[in-house]
Amino acid sequence: MIYSSWRLLAEAVSVLMESAPANIDVDEVHDAMTDVAGVAEIHDLHVWTITSGLISLSAHAVVTDHHSDTETLRAMREMLHDRFGINHITIQIEPEGFEERPIPV
Ligand SMILES: [Zn+2]
């Protein structure tokens, strides 16, 4: 029982240890996303590996011009794939001044 719990914990820790892919500089990803036309700010950025070859990204993107949301999202996704090889992408688009309240647990 104790052994089994320990093994589960060890597996969870090993998953966490994989969370930062060695070949990806998260600060560089952040700057590259901010450089995309229409993007004012990036926050809550996370990059991690699920299995080898599958790099996931989640982020919040504050966009300035909502007429080009589609184009901005497409540009971010293509850039992340072409430049960083990130192939599983989840981006939350937010309007400027969006009040992000904590979600109660
Ligand atoms: Zn946010």
Ligand 1 centroid to 21 CA: how many Å? 23
Residue spans of the chain under pLDDT 50: 14
Q: What is the pLDDT of residue 73?
A: 95
Please, is 70 exposed, middle or buried when counting C-beta atoms within 10 Å of its C-beta (0-12, 13-18, 19+)?
exposed
Ligand 1 centroid to 60 CA: how many Å? 5
Ligand 1 centroid to 52 CA: how many Å? 28
Residue whose C-alpha is closest to residue 95's, from 71, 50, 72, 62 = 62
Fold of 19-95: Alpha-Beta Plaits (3.30.70)
